[in-house]
Amino acid sequence: MTTDMRELVREHYAEAARSLSEGGGCGCDCESIGCCGEESTTLVGKGLYESGERDALPERAVSASLGCGNPVAVAELHEGETVLDLGSGGGIDVLLSARRVGPTGTVYGLDMTDEMLALAQRNAREARATNVHFLKGLIEAIPLPAESIDVVISNCVVNLSTDKPAVHAEIARVLRPGGRVGITDIVAEDRLSPEERAERGSYAGCIAGALSESEYRKGFQEAGLVDVEVRRTHAVADGMHAAIVRARKAA
């Protein structure tokens, strides 16, 4: 089941990347929570970024944003830092991070989907970003050394994992002491059972696989992170919310 669900998610986002690469629309189907809505009303995607940020990036990178927030702003990045974006998709958060950390910093984008990686690399070339690297792999098995990353970001991706404890453990592993997490994701109110979450949307549409707020906190705490914060930003379905998740690795 785990392999089947991961393949369903991979194909969902591969199709989104193919659509965007061919000049199609927003690349999502209308089951997804941010699907192709007007910018003033959409709950995910490019409408959650400031216009000044979007204007400096290739249009395909902006259109490929299928996230639920702006983790680059959440993470408060600094010059010279090394950043990892889990589930980097078309690369919008990698490219924005690259601008924040500057030429002395480095940003890695990790994605399991060949089509998204190709789109992201194309966008990086168009943006002339020289301090970014895109890696193929799973967020449950990050292909980077331990204690090599200052900041881990992610945008509406952890909910898609079929092994969230592994994701939490891998984030803790790659963070340097004192490193931090700045994630935007979908969370469920604690009152909702997994079955009730699945009634509100699909797994690939970022709903059915969402953790509850308490589960998110517990997962990071069990992985050894501290100062875990889960703060709702806006509702996306009954009992389901986009949220900012922050944590850090003790120094």
Closest CA to 86 of 151, 38, 25, 39: 151
Flag whether pLDDT at 48 surpasses 60.
no
Entry pTM: 0.84
Split into its structural domains, the chain has a count of: 1
* Domain limits for position 57: 2-248
Kindly state the tokens that stand for 208: 């059915």
- pLDDT tens figures, 5-25: 788 887 877 787 777 666 654
- Identify the three-state secondary structure at position 69: coil
CA R_g for the chain: 16
Give the C-alpha separation, 99 to 79, whole Å. Answer: 9
Q: What was the pLDDT predicted at 30?
A: 33
Q: What is the CATH number of the domain that holds 197?
A: 3.40.50.150
* 27 or 167, greater pLDDT: 167
Give the C-alpha separation, 130 to 107, whole Å. Answer: 10
φ, ψ of residue 241 in degrees (nearest 5): -140, 145
Exposure string (b/e) for 105-132, b if CB count within 10 Å is 16 or more? bbbbbbbbbebbbebbebbbeebebebb
